Amino acid sequence: MRMALMLKVTLKRSPIKSTKPQRETVRGLGLRKLHQSRLLQDSPEVRGMVVKVSHLVDLEEVTE
């Protein structure tokens, strides 16, 4: 049986001086505070959001 792949996304830099769409993307990922992490299901949508704000977040692949 294959393990579900999850993504651990951590906010590493403040989105204050970022563009409004980038700030909204960070919020859409569920991140509000610096160094906050979220476990999200690996999907093309989430990967696209992470790529859009890759300069603000860290990404780790986690198997559950």
- pLDDT digits 0-9 by tens, 32-59: 999 999 999 999 999 999 999 999 999 9
Helices (H), ranges, the chain? 20-28, 44-52
The residue segments making up the domain with residue 32 are 5-63
pLDDT exceeding 90 applies to what percent of the chain? 89
What's the rounded Cα separation, in Å, for the pair 50 and 56?
Answer: 9
pLDDT of residue 3: 65
Asked if pLDDT for residue 13 goes beyond 80, the answer is: yes
- The number of residues making up the chain comes to 64
Locate the DSSP E strands across 1-64. 5-11, 37-41, 57-63
Asked if pLDDT for residue 64 goes beyond 90, the answer is: no
pLDDT of residue 26: 98
Paired with 6 in beta bridges are 41, 62
CATH code, domain with 35 = 3.30.1390.20
pLDDT of residue 62: 92
The count of domains in the chain is 1
